[in-house]
Amino acid sequence: MKMIQCISPKTGGTLEVLGMDVETRQRQIKSRLGVVPQETNLDPDFSAYRNLLVYARYFGIPQREAERRAKDLLAFMQLDEKRDVLIDKLSGGMKRRLIIARALVNEPELLILDEPTIGLDPQARHLIWEKLRSLRAEGNTLVLTTHYLDEAERLCDRLVIMDHGKILVEGAPADLIREHAGNDVVEVERTKKAVARLDDLGVNYDLAGDVLQIFTDRPNDVARELLEVCRHEAAVTVRPATLEDVFLRLTGRSLRE
């Protein structure tokens, strides 16, 4: 991500952003990018509004134009009321929204977001998702990294799953789910009877802790078989497969530190 933003030197190969080489045309690239860093680095010496004005100045945007954009962006991000409030007094969700507003101040052609909703409560996340979707609907290109797979599933048209710096799969979320996890998942507690029945049926299953997961296109049939053997002993649930299933199947369950 930092190499795309022209902050870190590239370690090898070729890298072009917006058709320009990252080594020779850093300023041109940066002037057309919007960056939402993972770390909140708003300027604590200023209010929300002044943060946008000061940032606009780094792009060389004239004062009057900057003021107009800052007002519009505060309104867009629902921060009107916090206009003159210092950064320290803003909640986590407001800070993230303000950072997104800041990244839009130069009307970027490409918006790069690094974990945009990390550490936020559900309301704050949903508001940010709504704003990102409306940006996308206006035709903006967004590149985002996230560990929240529900976030990726909701926001992304195209998705790349990476592990240890290598691309594992690439595609639309729905396609990836269908391809790597199937339509549905049946989950049942791991009991001897359940395991025996699944073996009899010749159905493949994954082990996730104490839960058996069966990825299948015929969830009702599998569930019925399982209910017969373990009706009173273990709960059987059927749910649609998610990106999280894809991710865990592809990258394994061991902790990555």
Partner 1 sequence: MIDITARVQSVWRRNWDAFLRTYRVNFIPPFVEPVLYLLALGFGLGTYIEAVDGIPYPVFIAPALVSISVMYSAFFECTYSSFVRMYYQKTFDAIIATPVSIDEVIAGEMLWGATRGMIYATLMLPVLLLFGVVAMPSSLLLIPFAFLAGLLFAGIAMCFTAITPSIDALNYPSFLFITPMFLFSGTFFPLDLLPQPIQYFALAALPLTHVVAINRAITLPAFAPLNLFSLAWIVVAAVFFFVLAIRLMRRRLIV
Q: Is 45 an interacting residue with respect to partner 1 (CB under 8 A)?
A: yes
Tell whether residue 5 is a contact of partner 1 (CB under 8 A): yes
Q: Which stretch binds partner 1 (CB under 8 A): 21-29, 200-208, 217-225, 233-241?
A: 21-29
User: What are the φ and ψ backbone dihedral angles of 47, each rounded to 5 degrees?
Assistant: -75, 175
CA 36 from centre of chain: 12
Given candidates 41, 91, 183, 204, which one binds partner 1 under the rule CB under 8 A?
41
48 counts as binding partner 1 under rule CB under 8 A: no
49 lies in the binding site for partner 1 (CB under 8 A): no
Q: How many Cα atoms occupy the beta-carbon half-sphere of 144 within 13 Å?
A: 27
Supply 108's token pair: 């970027």
| Interaction between residue 60 and partner 1 (CB under 8 A) | yes
Over the window 72 to 111, marking each residue x when it contacts partner 1 by CB under 8 A and - when it does not, the resulting string is ----------------------------------x-----
Is residue 89 within 8 A of residue 45, CB to CB? The reply is no
Helix and strand tally (H, E) in the chain? 10, 11
If binding is defined by CB under 8 A, does position 145 make contact with partner 1? no
The interaxial angle of helices 92-103 and 48-58, nearest 10 deg, is: 30
Residue 31 makes contact with partner 1 by CB under 8 A: yes
Q: Are residues 135 and 96 in contact, defined by beta-carbon separation less than 8 angstroms? A: no
CA distance 68 to 81: 16
Nearest distance in Å: CB 78, partner 1: 22
> Binding partner 1 by CB under 8 A: which of 10, 15, 21, 37?
37
Considering the complex, state which of residue 23 and residue 228 has its C-beta at the smaller distance from partner 1. 23
Q: How is residue 191 written in tokens?
A: 């009991």
165 belongs to the binding site for partner 1 (CB under 8 A): no
18 binds partner 1 (CB under 8 A): no
